[in-house]
């Protein structure tokens, strides 16, 4: 029996509507994909911010690197020393000895913790909002057989030699009445003002016994030590007094 015209028309309309919906969805999907692709292409790429390179003073290269050697000589000349320390580094620099690289900031943080004033200093720094001027530190690389007394004595001899004064090898020996000489008192005071750092284990140390070669350094705060030494008249060193904590010269 032939189908009615109305049934055929309804089916035709349904098919047309379905085609229109399909075409609309397909077109919308294509447009969204295209737009998405354009937006992705217009997005900025990753930004790589290079890390600030910190100056590293390489002890191993001082004799071979002419520029580095000249820099160390210049820094030592500013303090009038030559052999008392191996390196002079700034507080915002690092130094390398053997295969160990250590940041001075790392050492300073541990020195502050040791002295108990890290919180106070940090608060002052933030409150003032100013960049501190880098301090200078002398680094002596401990060698087998060294002792802290002789390291300090050689440092003092180097300093006084620049002043045109030759210290006797016995200048650190007790005087006639058995008391410490002025130079001896300076050396005792030096033991209180310097720090020993184990660069292999990254920690403060208290003695110079070496487990590995090139593993420990003696650290001098150059600005503090020379501020004191520059006040001392060598002609009156035997008047120096030291009570275990404070060094002073009594008035006449």
Written as one string, the DSSP assignment of 24-59 is HHHHHHHHHHHHHHHHHHHS------PPPPPPEEEG
Could you tell me the residue range of the domain that residue 132 belongs to?
56-248
In a domain, 234, yes or no: yes
Same domain as 85, residue 115: yes
Same domain as 99, residue 32: no
Same domain as 95, residue 19: no
In a domain, 47, yes or no: no
Same domain as 86, residue 211: yes
In a domain, 76, yes or no: yes
Whether residue 18 has pLDDT greater than 80: no
How many distinct structural domains can be found in the chain?
2
The confidence score (pLDDT) of residue 4 equals 47
Same domain as 132, residue 16: no
Q: Which of 208, 182, 184 minimizes the C-alpha distance to 197? A: 208
Specify whether the CB–CB gap between 190 and 155 falls below 8 A.
Answer: yes
Q: pLDDT tens across 130-153, in order?
A: 557 889 999 999 998 888 888 988
Among 25-34, 146-155, 197-206, 219-228, name the one with the lowest average pLDDT.
25-34
pTM of the model: 0.69
Average pLDDT on 36-52 reads 41
Q: In what order do the strands lie in the sheet with 136-141?
A: 87-90, 136-141, 216-221, 195-198, 203-205
135 vs 179 pLDDT, higher one: 135
In a domain, 244, yes or no: yes
Same domain as 74, residue 17: no
81 three-state secondary structure: coil
The confidence score (pLDDT) of residue 88 equals 96
Residue 30 binned pLDDT confidence (cut-offs 50, 70, 90): very low
In a domain, 49, yes or no: no
Three state DSSP letters for 103-150: EHHHHHHHHHHHHCCHHHHHHHHHHHCCCCCCCEEEEEECCCCCCHHH
Q: pLDDT tens across 228-250, in order?
A: 888 777 777 777 777 777 777 77
C-alpha to C-alpha distance for 49 and 53, rounded to whole angstroms: 12
In a domain, 51, yes or no: no
The confidence score (pLDDT) of residue 217 equals 95
At a CB cut-off of 8 Å and minimum separation 6, what does 92 contact? 54, 55, 104, 105, 134
With a pLDDT cut of 90, the percent of the chain lying above it is: 31
Tokens 């009038």 correspond to what residue?
80
Same domain as 3, residue 112: no
At a CB cut-off of 8 Å and minimum separation 6, what does 169 contact? none
Q: What is the largest CA-CA distance in the chain?
A: 143
Same domain as 71, residue 144: yes
Same domain as 106, residue 204: yes
84 vs 33 pLDDT, higher one: 84
The confidence score (pLDDT) of residue 231 equals 76
In a domain, 46, yes or no: no
Average pLDDT of the chain, as a whole number: 76
C-alpha to C-alpha distance for 67 and 73, rounded to whole angstroms: 10
The confidence score (pLDDT) of residue 123 equals 46
C-alpha to C-alpha distance for 21 and 17, rounded to whole angstroms: 6
In a domain, 50, yes or no: no
Whether residue 47 has pLDDT greater than 70: no
Same domain as 226, residue 160: yes
With a pLDDT cut of 70, the percent of the chain lying above it is: 72
């Amino acid at each position: 029996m032939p189908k009615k015209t109305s049934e055929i028309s309804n089916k035709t309309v349904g098919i047309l509507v379905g085609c229109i919906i399909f075409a609309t969805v397909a077109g919308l999907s294509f447009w969204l994909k295209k737009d998405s692709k354009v937006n992705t292409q217009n997005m900025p790429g990753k930004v790589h911010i290079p890390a600030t390179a910190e100056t590293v003073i390489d002890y191993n290269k001082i004799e071979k690197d002419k520029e580095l050697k000249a820099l160390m000589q210049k820094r030592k000349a500013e303090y009038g020393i030559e052999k008392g320390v191996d390196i002079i580094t700034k507080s915002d620099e690092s130094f390398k000895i053997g295969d160990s690289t250590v940041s001075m900031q790392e050492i300073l943080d541990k020195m502050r913790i040791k002295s108990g004033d890290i919180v106070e200093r940090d608060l002052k720094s933030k409150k003032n909002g100013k960049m501190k001027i880098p301090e200078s530190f002398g680094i002596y690389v401990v060698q087998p057989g060294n002792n802290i007394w002789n390291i300090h004595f050689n440092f003092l001899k180097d300093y006084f030699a620049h002043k045109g004064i030759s210290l006797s090898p016995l200048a650190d020996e007790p005087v006639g009445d058995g008391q410490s000489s002025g130079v001896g008192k300076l050396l005792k005071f030096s033991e209180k003002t310097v720090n020993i750092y184990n660069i292999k284990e990254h920690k403060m140390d208290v003695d110079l016994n070496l487990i590995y070669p090139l593993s420990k350094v003696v650290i001098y705060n150059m600005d503090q030590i020379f501020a004191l030494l520059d006040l001392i008249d060598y002609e009156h060193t035997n008047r120096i007094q030291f009570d275990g904590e404070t060094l002073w010269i009594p008035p006449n």
